Structure 1
Amino acid sequence: MVNPMTGTGTGSRTDVRAAAPGDGSLLLDDQLCFALYAASRAVTARYRPLLDELGLTYPQYLVLLVLWERDSISVRELGAALHLESSTLSPLLKRLEANGLLRRERRADDERSVALRLTRDGARLRERAGTVPLAIGDAMGLTPEQDALAKQLLRLLTANVTEG
């Protein structure tokens, strides 16, 4: 079993001290990018059956999370919140609109800008989705402190890589 705080375990390569960032190691276990990739795939796979019950994909769920927090948002603001380009968002938003969960409207104050708003069905879906974070939290098995630290480190990593 691997200790999530130290990354060490028994009977595997993780027993050996991990290489320091930037030391040039080409061992798979020394690659932070692979640890992030594997974790992302595992978490997304864990979401899949929960979101299937809601008729959503993971990216659609992320869009709805933003809209449940802020009902009216521009496509540009949504893209910034999700770190996605408009070209990636467009088909996603069309699908959500076709499924009756949101509507796109030209802003009266700026015809070039499109506002996104939840429909009644989109707002109601929030209640059904309330069990998703609880199930994912249970699956992750982190303490509240570990959860907060993981988010803090991942946000820092994102900011650092984005700036560079």
Structure 2
Amino acid sequence: MAPPSESRSEIDKQLSFALYGAVGRMIRMHKPLLEPLGLTFPQYLVMVELLGGSPRTVGDLGAKVGMDTGTITPLLKRLEQSGLVTRRRDAKDERRVLVDLTPDGEALRERIRAVPDQINSACRITDEKANEIRETLDEMGRSMEA
């Protein structure tokens, strides 16, 4: 019998393929947790960031969650229409738009903060293992940017 690495197809040996599949599965795992909150996965990422401190500029939010202005602006408009955030021009610099949580957005804090534990549980991994995976992925990202 061939060792496991030899019996795998060429695509199955690719780290990028494993990561691509894992990303898709991870986003799909979030869907039933986020639907009751009325959030898509990208909206969830923005809400997590805003719960960490707001108001924030559109540019800062986009940079933090890896979205350009053309992607994050319509997403923020939908969050605003849902009553979860407000957008307003910065009085000090009218070119900047500040995004802040509404009371309804703030009210989702505990439910949003519960999602990572629910994901870890569904994946059957501990917080420590999740941290280890995240650190490895962050390290890979930093190496690729260097």
- For normalisation by structure 1, the TM-score amounts to 0.81
Alignment partner of 1:155: what SS?
helix
> Is contact 1:96-1:102 (8 Å) kept?
yes
* Number of matched pairs: 146
Larger relative contact order (Cα-Cα within 8 Å, sequence gap ≥ 6): 2
Please point out which of 101, 119, 122 is paired with 2:105: 122
| 1:96-115 mapped onto 2 (5 Å cutoff) | 96-115=79-98
- Which amino acid is the alignment partner of residue 16 of structure 1? S
Q: Name stretches of at least 5 consecutive residues in structure 1 with no aligned partner.
A: 1-10, 19-25
Bigger helix fraction: 2
> What is the aligned-residue identity percentage?
40
1:84 aligned residue (67, 70, 90): 67
1:152 CA displacement: 0.7
Query: What is the RMSD computed on CA atoms of the aligned residues?
Result: 2.2
Q: Secondary structure at the match of 1:49?
A: helix
Q: Please tell me whether residue 148 in structure 1 is matched to residue 145 in structure 2.
A: no
Contact in 2 for aligned 1:71/1:117 (Cα 8 Å) = yes
- Please name the residue that 1:16 is paired with: 5
Gaps of 5+ in 2: none
TM-score (norm 2): 0.91
Q: Secondary structure in 1 aligned to 2:107? A: helix
What residue in structure 2 maps to residue 4 of structure 1? none
What is the aligned partner in structure 2 of residue 28 from structure 1? Answer: 11
Instruction: Tell me the alpha carbon deviations over residues 72-101 of structure 1, each in whole angstroms, 9 at most, x when there is no partner.
Output: 111111011111101110110000000000
> Residue 158 of structure 1 aligns with which residue?
141
